[in-house]
Structure 1
Amino acid sequence: MKKKMAVVVAAALVSTTLLAACSNNGNEKNSLPNSETSSNEQTTNTSTEPSTKASQEPLDLSIFYFDGSGVVKMDSPVLTKAAELTNISLNNVAPAGGEEKQAYNLMLASGSLPDLISYYISDLNSIGSEDALAPLNEYIDKFAPNFKKFLEENEDVRKAITAADGNIYTIPSVADGTASTGWFIRQDWLDKLNLQSPTTVDQYYEVLKAFRDQDPNGNGKKDEVPYMQRDNVVGAYSLLPLWDAYHSFYIKENKIVFGPYEDQFEIGISNIAKWYAEGLIDKEIYTRAKARETLLGNNTAGSTHDWFASTSNFNNSLKDQVPGLNLIPFAPPASSSGKVFEVGKRAKLTGFGWGISANSKHIEEAVKYFDFWWTEEGRRMFNFGIEDQSYKLVDGKPIFTEEVLSQPAVNGYLVEAYGAQLTKIGAWQDFSYEEQWTNEIALKGIKLYQDNNLISSDYTLPPLSFTQEEQERITDLKGQIDTYFAEKAQKWVMGGEEVASNFAAYKDELKKLGVDEYIQIYNDAYTRYLNMK
């Protein structure tokens, strides 16, 4: 009770501070300054060529961009070039270390917000509704033609970034591509045992048993781990879709349901417990660190479900250590009901974006600066860096230099060396940047899943906008519900308790913890999303 009261008091203090900080803003919500007070009234451009200038004179804008690693620099090659083109430079006021949420809350409590804030869209929408951020609807219409065009062509994004009060407070970070994760199997083991790639859950079960019993790694020991998973949080739950179950929220019959509260979850978790007891699943699935490196590296892992690019790369990185390793993607085995689908899908929105303080004296310039990143030139810089340094244009297409492609972690190198691919700013990723450093095995897997429409949209919720009250209730409910579900499910999988005789009591406890309210909050937000015009 004391903890809950502390949260409420803290929220009230932040809200009061924000309202006080914004009380000097004379403009009504969603309104533009009039022509007499516009800070950019002398910036009329008579050129017939479109200008990238966001300000007539060089302008510094303060920004909160937390980067605990210390890698992101506001004077990086990309941001420096952007400053040359737009006349706007960024000055980061976020602390260089510490914890992100704490730094964000301290900034809010200070009552003095920077011009720009890069953070989670849900949080920015919340403080926007408290008048801390400028509503951008009309500014986008007037000063952001490129982003406006994107919204017109991507209605789902427009809906997703619109706050519960109907205003847009953020320009989002938008991802590109569809496929993210898929099923992988050791084709070299299948070949050795003269087995076909499984196409159903029952066939998959038989293949895993063969991996367990028939010594496919040829060392004379029964040490094979038929199925492994590197994410020890999700753990064995990646197998749940094989029985039409899921471990989180998903869409079912046009409603959002909570997978662990569905009756189908009992069937799924019971079968996973059976497979675990039979030695088909890594015994250390909940605790093992670096499962792929360890189990593929010692030639004991037979199958997994994971990201296409990083998992496929083990064929190259381990080729000398494990001769003949051939870990390839295969289509999802048909579930117990006969459905063939993949739950993993790239979310269109990363969850991050940037907004503008309601008290900033440079809202118009900031919006123009935001829009630069949605131009062809700005988008190319964000994705590929600097021409003739990190990439070259070949037949009009940016192609990374060998120096970039030879890096062990291309994405991290782009961030650190050039300031490209900054995930917390409002820009549009281009999947072709990733294609260039993704190997052929992964690209074939991605093509298999995309061309055959195997990727379900039901398991990736649209980014939902919650009211401040809803967000507070989610915070109260989520921790205890998720903790109880995770502890119970792990106990069942590892054989500490029978599923069937305890599932009803488990659901009763979830109900006592407020799961029905938890689900209803999500459905209320989802209904608003669907009805948004």
Structure 2
Amino acid sequence: MNKKISKLAVLAVSGALVLSACGNNESANPGQAANTAGNEAGKAAPAAKTKISWMNILHSTTPPTDTVLNKIEEITNTELDFSWVPDASKEERINTALASDSLADIVTLTLLDNSSVRNALKAGVFWEVSSYLDEFPNLVAISQDMRTSASIEGKLYGIPMVKDIARNGVIIRKDWLDKLGLQVPTTTAELMQVAKAFTEQDPDGNGSKDTTGFIDRSDLVFGAFKTLGSYFGTPSSWHVDDSGKVTPEFESEGYVKAMDYMKELYKGGYINQDFAVTAKNDQQQGFAQGKAGIYVGALFDSKNLLNLAKGIQDSMDLVMVNDITSTGNEADRAIWSSSNGVGGLLSFPKSEVKDEAELKQILQFVNDIMSEEVFALMTYGIEGVHYTIDADKAVTITNTELWQQEVQPFSSSRPKEPGYAIHDADPLRTEAARLILENEKYAVLNPMYSLESPTFSSEGSELQKIITDATYKYILDKIDLAGFKAEVEKWRKSGGDAIISEYEAAYKAVNG
């Protein structure tokens, strides 16, 4: 294994192939990598610590101190050498890291769509690990869907870092619902009626019609549109039928219904009229200032919105909704997934991990840090030092400044994020986490996520602008359905047909 990387050093020149973290599933006793040998007295003697180097991303301004690191090493019986790479410089350093072979035993990869990363994975630079996962109690719990989504051409070149699979939903002013005598909506029609009432019935009681139902931003993915599209049955980016035919989401009936819904909101004045040019910060500030009562986005945004409202809208009470459908039928419940829950890979370069024995030692370590004990360390710190915990495993951070210095930098190192019993004591955060975990049962995955289309890689962003512009024009009533379909045809002729053909071929190669 690589011994040349100094502990907690920030990589400055050589570059790093890194990224963020996450994971999914727990259990198992940590520290299983340590074997013991009997001494003369017949007592178990601790084995030598396994030395592991880890090239990882740094989202904070400085690396963590050794306080939490020492506890992780103690639990896993390892000696860890972290090489931290600042998030802002990770992408530009990929080619340098590959070319100079300046890697580590574990390399955190999240830029899986980067051509250099994909080429390195396909070229066999990293170990293929699919046959090993079932040997470890925490790794075996990684779902087959997750393994498939994290695979490149059907091969898994690292441990999937599993984030929330589907985190979006609707956040509504509960105090406004109560004031107007409205129930929490469960259908898109009911949601429309709430939006109308919030616009027309003075929910803040100031005597002026100065509120809207929705407040949205210029983002068809992470704003309201894609989540609303889920409620109308829109696929998650792409759809593939039983014959292997691939179609983009914007050719689906659900996509058109979502555009029609947004058009109705816009024409009725039930959404901020400048949503197509509104930034996320302005959207959140507007909600916090009481300009609107419906926010569609990540459910965990609720706590941030409430914090922003302090001193401005102190009466704000929020309810989060994740079970809206367009039909009222539970069977039609669905929510899109941005990356199928894959936050990246923990990958193991063959240049550093020389043989299967070393690989299994490192896999044991990854298995062990998926335990709840290590997750708690990486998320909250040390009980009594950084936080307190009650009988329900609800955590309250007691020293925020110390937590930020010693714990927060480890957030990108967690190979599993959702599903632990230990949780934040804040009720909104607890409820958001519960609803996000519940979303997994209804998540619509992107079947093309792990597949490759050279045309999409090189031209996909530019081609998407055709569809984005056409979608906004349709919602703002500047073109009709025929005009929208004409733009779709333009997308196809400009490279879309090539993308579809390439994805169909890639899908067939993996699935037969």
The answer to whether the superposition gives a TM-score over 0.5 is yes
Shift of residue 529, structure 1, vs aligned partner: 6.0
In structure 1, how many angstroms separate the alpha carbons of the residues matched to 2:273 and 2:43? Answer: 64
The 3 A distance-change label for structure 1 pair 493 and 139 is closer
Matches within 5 A, 1:359-378: 359-360=351-352, 364-365=357-358, 367-375=360-368, 376=371, 377-378=373-374
Q: Residue in 2 aligned with 1:473? A: 455
For residues 248-296 of structure 1, give each alpha carbon's deviation from its aligned partner in whole angstroms, at most 9, with x where no partner exists: 3356679654211334433432342232122111122232342454223
Shift of residue 479, structure 1, vs aligned partner: 1.3
Q: Which runs of 5+ in 1 are unaligned?
A: 1-42
1:220 matches 2:207 = yes
Cα contact 1:382–1:421 (8 A) shared by 2: yes
The 3 A distance-change label for structure 1 pair 95 and 328 is closer
Shift of residue 216, structure 1, vs aligned partner: 1.8
1:272 matches 2:262 = yes
In structure 1, how many angstroms separate the alpha carbons of the residues matched to 2:188 and 2:389? Answer: 47
Q: Residue in 2 aligned with 1:301? A: 292
The 3 A distance-change label for structure 1 pair 97 and 165 is closer
Q: Residue in 2 aligned with 1:163? A: 152
Cα contact 1:200–1:333 (8 A) shared by 2: yes
Cα contact 2:387–2:396 (8 A) shared by 1: yes
Question: How high is the TM-score relative to the length of structure 2?
Answer: 0.75
For residues 192-227 of structure 1, give each alpha carbon's deviation from its aligned partner in whole angstroms, at most 9, with x where no partner exists: 333344343333323322222222222232221211
The 3 A distance-change label for structure 1 pair 414 and 464 is farther
Aligned amino acid, residue 462 of structure 2: Q
Q: Residue in 1 aligned with 2:28? A: none
In structure 1, how many angstroms separate the alpha carbons of the residues matched to 2:72 and 2:205? Answer: 57
Aligned amino acid, residue 386 of structure 2: S
For residues 405-436 of structure 1, give each alpha carbon's deviation from its aligned partner in whole angstroms, at most 9, with x where no partner exists: xx59xxxx8574225653356x2225347732
Cα contact 2:185–2:194 (8 A) shared by 1: yes
The 3 A distance-change label for structure 1 pair 121 and 158 is farther
Shift of residue 110, structure 1, vs aligned partner: 2.6
Q: Residue in 1 aligned with 2:19? A: none
The 3 A distance-change label for structure 1 pair 419 and 227 is closer
Shift of residue 384, structure 1, vs aligned partner: 4.1
Note the aligned Cα RMSD (angstroms): 4.0
3-state SS of 2:275 partner: coil
3-state SS of 2:273 partner: coil
1:249 matches 2:260 = no
Cα contact 1:173–1:428 (8 A) shared by 2: yes
Shift of residue 509, structure 1, vs aligned partner: 0.7
- The partner residue of 1:174 within 137, 142, 162 is 162
- The partner residue of 1:515 within 489, 496, 503 is 496
- The partner residue of 2:279 within 282, 285, 288 is 288
3-state SS of 1:429 partner: coil
- The partner residue of 1:189 within 152, 159, 176 is 176
3-state SS of 1:222 partner: coil
Matches within 5 A, 1:103-502: 103-120=93-110, 122=112, 124=117, 126-136=119-129, 145-151=136-142, 154-164=143-153, 166=155, 168-175=156-163, 180-230=167-217, 232-234=219-221, 235-237=223-225, 238-245=227-234, 248-250=237-239, 257-286=247-276, 287-312=278-303, 314-315=305-306, 318=309, 320-330=311-321, 332-335=323-326, 340-344=332-336, 349-360=341-352, 364-365=357-358, 367-375=360-368, 376=371, 377-391=373-387, 400-403=395-398, 407=400, 416-418=405-407, 421-423=410-412, 427-432=415-420, 435-439=423-427, 441=428, 443-444=430-431, 456-458=442-444, 460-461=445-446, 464-466=449-451, 470=452, 472-495=454-477, 497-502=478-483
Shift of residue 511, structure 1, vs aligned partner: 1.0
**Would you say how many aligned residue pairs link Structure 1 and Structure 2?**
463
The 3 A distance-change label for structure 1 pair 145 and 208 is closer
Aligned amino acid, residue 239 of structure 1: L
In structure 1, how many angstroms separate the alpha carbons of the residues matched to 2:396 and 2:192? Answer: 45
Aligned amino acid, residue 450 of structure 2: S
Aligned amino acid, residue 486 of structure 2: A
Cα contact 2:59–2:412 (8 A) shared by 1: no
In structure 1, how many angstroms separate the alpha carbons of the residues matched to 2:46 and 2:491? Answer: 54
In structure 2, how many angstroms separate the alpha carbons of the residues matched to 1:87 and 1:447? Answer: 33
Aligned amino acid, residue 240 of structure 1: G
For residues 327-378 of structure 1, give each alpha carbon's deviation from its aligned partner in whole angstroms, at most 9, with x where no partner exists: 2124544316967524155866433222222222555446423422422354
Cα contact 2:106–2:348 (8 A) shared by 1: yes
For residues 441-492 of structure 1, give each alpha carbon's deviation from its aligned partner in whole angstroms, at most 9, with x where no partner exists: 56456657877x895222x3368433xxx35333123112212111221222
Cα contact 2:239–2:447 (8 A) shared by 1: no
Q: Residue in 1 aligned with 2:4? A: none
Shift of residue 507, structure 1, vs aligned partner: 1.9
In structure 2, how many angstroms separate the alpha carbons of the residues matched to 1:261 and 1:83? Answer: 52
Aligned amino acid, residue 86 of structure 1: N
% identical aligned pairs: 19
Q: More deviation in 210-219 or 520-529?
A: 520-529
1:506 matches 2:487 = yes
In structure 2, how many angstroms separate the alpha carbons of the residues matched to 1:394 and 1:186? Answer: 29
Question: How high is the TM-score relative to the length of structure 1?
Answer: 0.72
Aligned amino acid, residue 343 of structure 1: I
Aligned amino acid, residue 217 of structure 1: D
Aligned amino acid, residue 261 of structure 1: E
Aligned amino acid, residue 516 of structure 1: D
In structure 1, how many angstroms separate the alpha carbons of the residues matched to 2:389 and 2:172? Answer: 38
Cα contact 1:385–1:420 (8 A) shared by 2: no
Cα contact 1:245–1:259 (8 A) shared by 2: yes
Aligned amino acid, residue 400 of structure 1: V
3-state SS of 1:374 partner: helix
3-state SS of 2:107 partner: strand
Shift of residue 78, structure 1, vs aligned partner: 3.2
The 3 A distance-change label for structure 1 pair 105 and 304 is same
The 3 A distance-change label for structure 1 pair 504 and 192 is same
In structure 2, how many angstroms separate the alpha carbons of the residues matched to 1:435 and 1:236? Answer: 28
Shift of residue 312, structure 1, vs aligned partner: 4.6
1:81 matches 2:83 = no
In structure 2, how many angstroms separate the alpha carbons of the residues matched to 1:393 and 1:200? Answer: 38
3-state SS of 1:422 partner: helix
In structure 2, how many angstroms separate the alpha carbons of the residues matched to 1:199 and 1:180? Answer: 18
